[in-house]
Structure 1
């Protein structure tokens, strides 16, 4: 962990004041980092999920990262103090407005399929404790790569890049109110289209059936839509009704 990342961590959990963090940042040199083009393939994502799913907290965090595209630190912050009354329940997914701005890193809404929403519970484990438990299971990639994988998944499923950016919290901080509302509506539309496919991937598809590319099994995943009415499956409809 670099000094900058550690300072961000301390600031995120109110262990260090923002003014002190900024003062250290002026002293620390920002070394140019090498581009990291690694993105795990679908088979790796499913195999890793099967390695960690017996640990309830890791399972939940993994699913949130893979289906929402939020960052690991943001995920832990969300699980620490989310309010279930603030969720907006849609046909087959939920959205949660956090309106949080972490300097240059934005996050507006967290989008989750219903099958992940129904597993939500507070997680108070520390950042480092959870990472250690994850790596002890000899996983082939770091949790941060689930964000890249989810972005690829959205693009392979025809989600426009601007909408995929919005879903992952990359909204422009200077965006107008009208533009923000339009982008939010677009995100609602597109996430409803892909979240059943995410549920299929993690709930139905077995490791040996996965391929090396999201494109390779889009035809199979599209069959999920055959039992969908306006983006709502029979199963998700029953789940939603049971919530009311």
Structure 2
């Protein structure tokens, strides 16, 4: 969808809506899944264009007013206790990767590929981030982790995706559900959805360079803010 398409959609459907209250009333009668998803995408696009408010109300409040319908897919939400128990039952050789997935929220496939770029890590006090792809991309994905994990991650020898995927499974805990657990932790600790997406290596390639740098700065700041508490959930004994 082009910029003009988004602007036309905004003019056609939302011209008369001046507040989040009016938006909530509007979607009571216009609540198809595709329409709600389109509205969310529209707000995401405006966020990427660095439009922070609409009629004086933060973009995040507008976005939170649009509740997407749950799909029929089974959603699994892990408790902190499940994550702790799973970690204690991990084989020693895979514990460091378990922590990396839990603390970063990165996809397992991306994380395994990203280990090749640990030499390009940027250390920012108690946190570090390393690229999940080659240097060539100026607006690439980053993997955020506590800097205390770097030493052990550099020593880790991957056995391949399929083997690692099986080793990370314990009860309802998998690489995928750890990613969801990480996202829930970020959101519940006050990290904005767009920043949480960025921290989890989920950002549109088409995002403007200036906004990308803003996301990067906010990602660094927010991950630094929540890192110690995130680590305390598993309490693996590594000091920050």
User: Shared fold (TM-score greater than 0.5)?
Assistant: yes
Secondary structure of 2:132's counterpart equals strand
Match of 2:113 among 73, 77, 98: 77
Match of 1:141 in 2: 173
Within the candidate set 109, 112, 119, 2:145 is matched to 112
| Alpha-carbon distance change, 65 to 169 in structure 1, aligned in 2, over 3 angstroms | same
Q: How does 1:52-131 map to 2 (within 5 A)?
A: 52=90, 54-56=91-93, 58-79=94-115, 81-84=116-119, 86-99=120-133, 108-120=141-153, 121-131=155-165
In the alignment, the residues of structure 2 paired with residue 126 and residue 195 of structure 1 have an alpha-carbon distance, to the nearest angstrom, of 28
Shift of 1:193: 0.4
**Which runs of 5 or more structure 1 residues have no equivalent in the other structure?**
1-32, 101-105, 206-234, 237-244
Out of 61, 64, 74, the residue aligned to residue 36 of structure 1 is 74
For 2:103 and 2:129, locate their aligned partners in 1 and report how far apart those are by CA, in whole Å.
12
Instruction: Please list the CA deviations of residues 199-228 of structure 1 after superposition, one character each: whole Å capped at 9, or x if unmatched.
Output: 2222269xxxxxxxxxxxxxxxxxxxxxxx
How many residue pairs get matched? 164
Write the distance in 2 (CA, Å) between the matches of 1:51 and 1:64. Answer: 16
Shift of 1:66: 0.5
- The answer for unaligned runs of 5 or more in structure 2 is 1-70
| CA-to-aligned-CA distance 1:45-73 (integer Å, 9 cap, x gap) | 11111110x422x2111111111110011
The structure with more radius of gyration = 2
For the residues of structure 1 that align with 2:72 and 2:179, how far apart are their CA atoms?
18
CA 1:119 to 1:179, structure 2 compared with 1: closer, same or farther past 3 Å?
same
Preserved contact between residue 65 and residue 146 of structure 1 (Cα < 8 Å):
yes
Write the distance in 2 (CA, Å) between the matches of 1:190 and 1:198: 12
Give RMSD over aligned pairs: 2.2
Q: Is the 8 A contact 1:39 1:149 kept in 2?
A: yes
Match of 1:46 among 74, 84, 94: 84
| CA positional deviation for 1:95 | 1.1
Q: Is the 8 A contact 1:107 1:170 kept in 2?
A: no
C-alpha distance in 2 between matches for 1:110 and 1:131? 18
> Does residue 169 of the first structure (1) align with residue 201 of the second (2)?
yes
3-state secondary structure, aligned to 1:180: helix
Which residue pairs with 1:15 in the alignment? none
